[in-house]
Amino acid sequence: MRIDRLLSNLPRFNRQHVRLLLAAGRVRVDGQACRDSRFEVRAFHRVEVDDELVQAGKPARYFMLHKPVGVVSATSHPDHRTVLDLLNEPDKHELHLAGRLDLNTSGLLLITNDGLWSRRATAPDGSHAKVYRVETEQVIDPAAVEVFAQGLYFAYEDLTTRPALLEIQAPHHAKLTLHEGRYHQIKRMFGHFQNKVIGLHRQSLGAIVLDPDLPPGAYRPLTQAEIASV
């Protein structure tokens, strides 16, 4: 909400009064004078007028979780344990997932209460590459490298996938870098070569790399550098 609207909604202020307060530098956001009436106030901002606290602001929270296989990427589920069940945090109902992983996919999962941040992290513009470790049932066809790089046509969505980087590391193992996240995309891409994916693990999203010290099911807060990278 714009700061002028937030303050004008208070019974003791009208719009003209708010304009004067802003012009005089008497409104502070996170300790800094705010004179821009169009400034967008979020739930995390502390807002003060003179020495009066108008909005305390709640802390923004950001976590990386090493998601294990068999845990659902959801905030609630009637049949399976969810990733939020793995967190020992207050007010877990305020948290949501910045992207998801399939039930049988492990690896990096981001969890936050900052909706704007999570939308940037999962933006469909491909700005944050996602790197996966893939294990397949059959030997990986070297022809897949060029096909993935050119993009595969998905008839159901009537679209061609963005170029993806496939690095074959062993006959049944590869590293795959994607710049999008279509429904079961990796399984469908390897399915084009009649090769079943039997193991899938996300190593990174953009500059955020799964902490090697985190065992499956463990989590930690993101660092300021990791948060800022999104």
Residues involved in catalysis: 102
Give the Cα separation of 54 and 64 in Å (integer): 32
